Structure 1
């Protein structure tokens, strides 16, 4: 059984990947998607979204990171996948699940689930181009507006060369509205011979147990649930491994919030850094009452020194 951290564009960047993987329980993670249009990207575009490539393609905690590509041109995707491998990507993941309108309008993400033949062509071309020892995997939804073609899409991906499939158990039209249809993950696993990961609406240990029972699959990819409850993967791993688990309380989480802020201040502009912190703290309010109080204080704050003070980070001394 494997537990993966989902790629979420605009949310799970290298900073949050670093912080979340420090908590434990995550077997591997995936970059935000790298958009491939009609050209071979320069290496800098890969390093921007996947700086871990400069450090053995793993987070500081030693968790392996896969590189995810999004696009619709089989040859161009293949060429960029080869470059990603040359830069150190240990696995190439292909995105057929993004529901964003802007992405779908430019023929990327979940809209391609309308074209199983194209899915197959993309996987076949990328698999043929990438070195044989480097796995190619894919993430999909159940379909664009209906799950009726989910099995055709899954078969197209698996037969094209995907060694694993992650199935977000909703259609593009459903977005992130509950419920997730875990029973369809079971149907997908019935028709493909590769491992299938269930994804969607796992917020708690109890959700995971139900997901495993309904989907029939052991492997899980956690997204918003793990961002909102940073020890969720560790909870699941403890059950898997039969070991005792001590929940991460607010005092245990606060140093991670401070570390997140320190990295955000170092990597982002003074204008952007507070927004990134607020985004994560807002999601933590689902689990931690203390996060609600903190978010109330942070909500309208834009001064970086004041933001740091509110989370207990000393103001840097003037040079």
Structure 2
């Protein structure tokens, strides 16, 4: 069983990847998407979005970080994939799942699921351009408005040379509303001869059990569930192995939040850092009553020094 951390634009940046992978249980993670238009992007863009490239493409915990590209032009995606590989990307991942309206309007993400032939051309172009030893993988949703072309899209990605496929088991129209249609993951696995990962609505070990039973797959990508409960991957791994595991309590989670705040505080201007803190704390509040209490205390606070005192972060 492999467990991956999802690439969540605007949330799971390199700092949160660092903190979550240090908890453990995550086999690999993916950068936020690098948007490719009709140009070869400068090296600085890759290093800004995926700074782990300067650390052997691994987080501080040693977890592999893959580079994700988003766009619709096969040639320029291939050219930028080559650059990512030259910078040390161990895997090139292609985003065909982002539901954001601004991304879809510029022909990126889930809107491409309307065009299975284009999916094939993109993957084939990238596969042909990058070194043979570097896998090309893809992430997809079940479709744009509906799932009528889900199997065709999966076949197109596989035929183009994708080595692995992550399926977010909802359409773009479904957005993030429950449920996730895990039965479609099983249908997709039946028509492609490559590993398929199930993604969507895995918030707990019980959810994982049900997803595994319905989808029939053994590999999973965790997104919001892992952000809300940082040891969820460890809980699932223990359940898979049949071993006892005591979930982390808030006393163990709070130091992670403090370290996250310290890193964001050091990087971002003071007017932006509080938003990042509140964003993760709001997700943690789904799992920990203490986080909910702390969120209520900080939600209207914008002074970083006062937030230091509330969070209990180490002094700068």
**TM superposition score normalised by structure 2:** 0.99
Superposition misfits of 4+ residues, deviation over 3 angstroms: none
CA distance in 1, matches of 2:269, 2:21: 24
Aligned to 2:204: 204
CA distance in 1, matches of 2:127, 2:173: 29
Aligned to 1:7: 7
Greater alpha carbon shift after TM alignment, 233-242 vs 284-293 = 233-242
Aligned to 1:84: 84
The CA deviation at 1:224 is: 0.3
Aligned to 1:162: 162
CA distance in 2, matches of 1:2, 1:315: 37
**Contact persistence 1:309–1:315 (CA under 8 A):** no
3-state SS of paired residue (2:112): helix
CA distance in 1, matches of 2:289, 2:189: 38
Aligned to 1:95: 95
Greater alpha carbon shift after TM alignment, 209-218 vs 232-241 = 232-241
The CA deviation at 1:315 is: 4.6
Q: List runs of 5+ in structure 1 lacking aligned partners.
A: none
CA distance in 2, matches of 1:78, 1:315: 45
CA distance in 2, matches of 1:102, 1:258: 33
CA distance in 2, matches of 1:314, 1:222: 29
3-state SS of paired residue (2:295): helix
Aligned to 2:148: 148
CA distance in 1, matches of 2:107, 2:65: 26
3-state SS of paired residue (1:148): coil
Q: What's the CA shift string for 1:47-106, capped at 9, x where partnerless?
A: 001000000000000000000000000000000000000000000000000000000000
Aligned to 1:17: 17
Q: What's the CA shift string for 1:199-242, capped at 9, x where partnerless?
A: 00000000000000000000000000000011100111122334
CA distance in 2, matches of 1:242, 1:290: 29
Q: Give aligned pairs, total.
A: 316
CA distance in 2, matches of 1:42, 1:314: 35
The CA deviation at 1:154 is: 0.2
Aligned to 2:309: 309
CA distance in 2, matches of 1:24, 1:125: 35
**Contact persistence 2:3–2:25 (CA under 8 A):** yes
Aligned to 1:259: 259
Aligned to 2:278: 278
Q: What's the CA shift string for 1:116-162, capped at 9, x where partnerless?
A: 00000000000000000000000000000111110000000001000
CA distance in 2, matches of 1:315, 1:275: 19
The CA deviation at 1:314 is: 4.8
**Contact persistence 2:259–2:313 (CA under 8 A):** no
**Contact persistence 1:25–1:234 (CA under 8 A):** yes
CA distance in 1, matches of 2:311, 2:100: 32
Aligned to 2:220: 220
1:44 aligns with 2:62: no
The CA deviation at 1:269 is: 1.0
CA distance in 2, matches of 1:28, 1:243: 22
Aligned to 1:108: 108
**Contact persistence 2:113–2:119 (CA under 8 A):** yes
**Contact persistence 2:143–2:149 (CA under 8 A):** yes
Greater alpha carbon shift after TM alignment, 235-244 vs 183-192 = 235-244
Greater alpha carbon shift after TM alignment, 181-190 vs 243-252 = 243-252
**Contact persistence 2:85–2:130 (CA under 8 A):** yes
CA distance in 2, matches of 1:81, 1:140: 18
Aligned to 2:232: 232
Aligned to 1:296: 296
- Root-mean-square deviation (CA), in Å? 0.7
CA distance in 1, matches of 2:174, 2:7: 18
